[in-house]
Amino acid sequence: MHFSPDRPAFFVNPDYQPMAGATKPVIDPATLETVGAIATASDGEIDAALTAATKAQAAWKKLDAKSRARHLHAVANAIEVADFTHCAELMVREMGKPYPEAIGEIANCAPIFRYYAEMARDDAGKIAGATQAGSFQYARYEPYGVSVHIMPFNFPILLMCWTVAASLAAGNACIIKPAEATTLSTSDYMTVFRSLPEGLVSCLPGGAATAQALIASERTHAVAFTGSVAAGKAVAVACAERMKPCVIEAGGSDPLIISQHAPLDVAAAGSVTAAFHLTGQVCTSAERFFVVDAVHDRFVDLFAERTRALRIGNGLDKTEIGPLVSEAARAKVMRLVDDAIAHGARAVTGGRIPPAHNTGWFYEPTILTGVTPDMAIVREECFGPVAAICRVRDFDEAIRLANDSPFGLGASVFTTDLAEAHEAAERLEAGMVWVNNPLIDNDALPFGGWKASGLGRELGRQGLDAFRRSKMVIIDHRPAIQGWWYPYPDSWFRETGGRKHV
């Protein structure tokens, strides 16, 4: 069966299978037209995927590292030669992402499979210095079994590949639960896994109930989740109740500091992308701006000038700012902006639904000044095209206010002062710090947050370790009776009041 957006299907490698449950329409957030239909995986469909994954993983974990790497390189090869035009268009139509960003995300996932193919081949264990002669003592890494991957709508393919590549490299089978808002494009992408052994990768559409069923199953053994803080906490609790390891990336409200030593032209240009990329629907979007008083007014002017040049519209047109993913998402943004203005903030740009785009869930990229740290827009995650600017006295106040948050995913700084750059890296309470170049990542470095922003790490060595467990092994190749074994010699005891004590 070939995948069609009009016929809901679940995927168990290498085939799509029609879904039996009730369907619901997928609505384009730009036009409010119907794009396709999705369904929720039934108990029987979940069971079929789990059965296939369990069987596939039993053979997959026995493969030598070189053979496993060869399979992952084959996935990378499939990504590099595929035509993802249809998949990218589906992503644009189901969640609003501008087409260049959709096709870039979908087509550029091959390197992560190559990275983990070779990482797992190189890093298989550790030999320790022996604690006694004649003993070989080492640690080995082994897979958990079947991993569950609960994906967000904003980067549904890229973030899925981050954790799936690591889990496969570690020797697990993978079951993907896509975001409901990006089920179509995620399902369409599954063909890149067809070279893998039968049943090793599955994709089960559904909502929270599907995720809960997969976490609760005794046939799954590790969980990767990206989404809201509230949902992340629920996943973490459910995993903890079952002593099931999990990686949680739960979003945030990232600060961006503009120092008095900032290169203002660069800072303004970088801030536009940091705040408004994907209409601000990025976990690491810069939401809270702390601008030093000496450069505040000039920075705001430059920032606003560049922001006003952004094009709003359908992601299939020439545009940078598409719609928000849903009516509820826009309503939250509007609530936070309206609350800030009611408490004294001023909208330098935006702050409204664009008059030319009153169909769909559009909202103008918005810069607020006069924001104070007690406002709701500073305390909550906005997840929309809004930059809330607080004027601060100096760099120290900026650091203090940046850290005054329950979140701790990323943080950005613009400065040409080397001391400030190093101080920011040391003092900011975040899992990632960017100086003069926000939002970028590196396959070889850990991605994740502090505080309420998450548990564990994706990417890098830590991203691989998230999907494997260690086993200490001690082999005495010259068997001998050890002096410390039972029974203890009498000389180890001492006489005290007629009783012997060790």
Burial class (CB in 10 A: 0-12, 13-18, 19+), 359: exposed
**Residue 484 CB coordination number (10 Å):** 6
The values of phi and psi at residue 43, to 5°, are -60, -40
Whether the link from the prior residue into 14 is cis, omega within 30° of 0, is yes
To which residue do tokens 């069987």 refer?
55
Whether 423 sits among the annotated catalytic residues: the reply is no
**Measured distance CA(89)–CA(30) in Å, rounded:** 13
Determine phi and psi for 353, rounding to 5 degrees: -75, 130
Q: Quick one: 202 exposed, middle or buried, by C-beta within 10 A (0-12, 13-18, 19+)?
A: buried
Asked whether the CA dihedral 480, 486, 490, 492 is positive or negative, the reply is positive
Q: What is the DSSP string of 203-242?
A: E----HHHHHHHHH-TT--EEEEES-HHHHHHHHHHHHHT
Separation between Cα atoms, residue 153 and residue 215, nearest integer Å = 19
Identify the active-site residue in 89, 94, 105, 249: 249
DSSP H helices, 217-354, are 229-241, 264-276, 296-308, 327-342
**Hey, what are 268's tokens?**
């303004």
Concerning whether 283 is annotated as a catalytic residue, the answer is yes
Cα separation, 203 vs 190, in Å, equals: 8
Helix (H) or strand (E) holding 117, with range, is: helix 110-122
Torsion angle of the four alpha carbons 28, 29, 33, 35, in this order, in degrees rounded to the nearest 10: 10
As a dihedral over the C-alpha atoms of residue 301, residue 305, residue 308, residue 309, rounded to 10 degrees, the angle is -170
The per-residue DSSP string of 80-93 comes to HH---HHHHHHHHH
Measured distance CA(114)–CA(107) in Å, rounded = 14
Residue 143 CA to chain centroid, in angstroms?
21
Active-site entry in 283, 287, 381, 420? 283
Does residue 122 sit in helix, strand or coil? helix
SS3 312: strand
- What CA dihedral angle connects 428, 429, 432 and 437, to 10 degrees? -30
What is residue 380's three-state secondary structure? coil
Active-site residue numbers?
249, 283
